[in-house]
């Protein structure tokens, strides 16, 4: 199809001039000169970028690659160090699967990543998107790399009326017909760069888009009306208590169970999180240890599928089965508990 040939050439030419300079990326000029991307760095960046913005993921990528330069280095790292290094990045199952994957590559594949989409898909934490992305970007396989950017670009190109998420299979079919088999890795990155910088969710920059003359949504005059989406359910609120127990300069922490919310991460001791607020008397009765507990305010935190109000109780004392950590060294905590700990420690009501 001639239109598809032109579209591919136009987008690749745009990418050659406008590719973002990213620390894990081999740019189009270097790629044309034969430089290969390091599969470890491609994989690590792709996992970190799942549902995560480039500015948020970038410092974590630099920290991880400086500390663990190869997949075998990462495979040899203790669980607690990797979970602590991931703290603040969210979706902590990614960190658990990251380690499982690194160890599988190190132990079962001689420290070398599989070089096919099917082989990559078998590794923990690599789903359809990430397996395709690593196959294309690291190994130049003609994989159909479809993320949220690509879904948006394709839905606009063809003005797909079916709303997301139901439209995902159709958008993937449409994307598959476009894959540039001569430069698969650059094609995947070009489509994602276009989505991230030009074909943005709001206020797309169609006057700078190399594909505008192919775009059905642009032709309607309201391209930001795509992709169509089904309405989301309201976010419920939950209530809990977090206990800030100090012993001199140390704070009592616990290790959360390996699965579920914030699984495997360090945390403040907490009550259950329920739909009804906790009274101060209830909160004290549920405390992890007897002490002179006093209320020191509350913090709000928003998770993907619920909002949390965390009442803060503070006391000086002792408890069994906790991990005493210096109060100035709380970087291993997920954001919700870092926020709660800082608020509880600064609030001397």
Instruction: Considering the complex, state which of residue 97 and residue 289 has its C-beta at the smaller distance from DNA.
Output: 97
Query: What is the DSSP secondary-structure string of 316-342?
Result: E---SS-EEEETT--TTS-HHHHHHHH
How far is it, in rounded angstroms, from Cα 16 to Cα 151? 22
Interface with DNA, residue 59, by CB under 7 A: no
Site for DNA in 238-257 (CB under 7 A): none
Q: Which residue has the tokens 């650059």?
A: 186
Per CB under 7 A, which region of 75-83, 176-184, 276-284, 334-342 contacts DNA?
Answer: 334-342
Site mask for DNA (CB under 7 A), range 83-102, x = bound: ----xxxxxxx---x-----
| Distance of alpha carbon 132 from the chain centroid | 17
297 belongs to the binding site for DNA (CB under 7 A): no
DSSP structural state of residue 198: T
Kindly tell me which residue out of 52, 70, 250, 347 binds DNA, with binding defined by CB under 7 A.
52
Site for DNA in 125-154 (CB under 7 A): 125-131, 133, 147-149, 152
Does 46 participate in catalysis according to the annotation?
A: yes
Q: Using an 8 Å Cβ cutoff, are 189 and 132 in contact? A: no
Say which DSSP state 196 is in: H
- Using CB under 7 A as the binding rule, whether residue 173 contacts DNA is answered as no
Q: How many residues bind DNA (CB under 7 A)?
A: 60
Which lies closer to DNA via its Cβ, residue 90 or residue 210? 90
Nearer to DNA, 191 or 245 (CB): 191
Q: Considering the rule CB under 7 A, would residue 202 count as an interface residue with DNA?
A: yes
Q: At closest approach, how far in Å is the CB of 346 from DNA?
A: 17
Nearer to DNA, 5 or 176 (CB): 176
The SS3 assignment for 308 reads: strand
Q: What is the DSSP string of 11-76?
A: HHHHHHHH----TT---HHHHHTTPPPPHHHHHHHHHHTTT--HHHHHHHHHHHHHH--SHHHHHT
- One DSSP character per residue, 97-136 reads HHHHHHHHHHHHSTT---SSHHHHHTSTT--HHHHHHHHH
Stretch that binds DNA, among 43-51, 73-81, 173-181, 321-329 (CB under 7 A): 43-51
65 touches DNA (CB under 7 A): no
| Bridging pattern class, strands 307-316 and 237-247 | parallel
For residues 131 and 162, give the distance between their C-alpha atoms in angstroms, rounded to a whole number.
26
Residue 310 beta carbon to DNA: minimum distance, rounded to whole angstroms: 11
For the CB of residue 2, give the shortest distance to DNA in the complex, in Å: 29
Catalytically active residues are 46
Contact positions vs DNA (CB under 7 A)? 20, 22, 25, 45-46, 49-56, 87-93, 97, 124-131, 133, 147-149, 152, 189, 192-193, 195-196, 200-202, 229, 231-232, 234-235, 260-263, 301-305, 334-336, 339
């Amino acid at each position: 199809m001639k239109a598809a040939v032109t579209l591919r050439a136009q987008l690749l030419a745009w990418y050659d001039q406008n590719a973002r300079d990213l620390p894990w990326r081999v740019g189009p000029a270097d790629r044309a000169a034969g430089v290969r991307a390091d599969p470890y760095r491609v994989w690590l960046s792709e996992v970190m970028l799942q549902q995560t913005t480039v500015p948020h993921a970038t410092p974590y990528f630099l920290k991880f690659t400086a500390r663990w330069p190869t997949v075998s280095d990462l495979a040899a790292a203790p669980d607690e160090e990797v979970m602590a290094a991931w703290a603040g990045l969210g979706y902590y199952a990614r960190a658990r699967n990251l380690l499982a994957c690194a160890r599988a590559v190190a132990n079962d594949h001689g420290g070398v990543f599989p070089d096919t989409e099917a082989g990559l898909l078998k590794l923990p934490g690599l789903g359809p998107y990430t397996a395709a992305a690593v196959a294309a970007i690291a190994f130049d396989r003609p994989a159909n790399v479809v993320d949220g950017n690509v879904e948006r670009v394709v839905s606009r190109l063809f003005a797909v009326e079916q709303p997301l998420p139901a439209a995902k299979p159709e958008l993937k079919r449409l994307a598959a017909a476009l894959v540039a088999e001569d430069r698969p890795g650059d094609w995947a990155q070009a489509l994602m760069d276009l989505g991230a910088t030009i074909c943005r969710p709001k206020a797309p920059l169609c006057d700078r888009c190399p594909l505008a003359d192919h775009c059905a949504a642009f032709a309607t005059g309201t391209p930001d009306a795509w992709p169509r989406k089904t309405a989301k359910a309201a976010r419920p609120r939950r209530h809990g208590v977090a206990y800030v127990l100090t012993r001199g300069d140390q704070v009592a922490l616990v290790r959360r169970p390996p699965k579920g919310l914030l699984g495997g991460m360090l945390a403040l001791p907490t009550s259950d999180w329920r739909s009804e607020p906790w009274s101060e008397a209830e909160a004290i009765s549920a405390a992890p240890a007897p002490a002179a507990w006093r209320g020191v305010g509350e913090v709000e935190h928003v998770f993907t599928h619920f909002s949390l109000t965390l009442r803060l109780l503070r006391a000086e004392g002792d408890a069994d089965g906790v991990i005493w950590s210096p109060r100035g060294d709380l970087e291993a905590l997920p954001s919700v508990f870092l926020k709660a700990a800082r608020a509880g420690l600064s609030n001397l009501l």
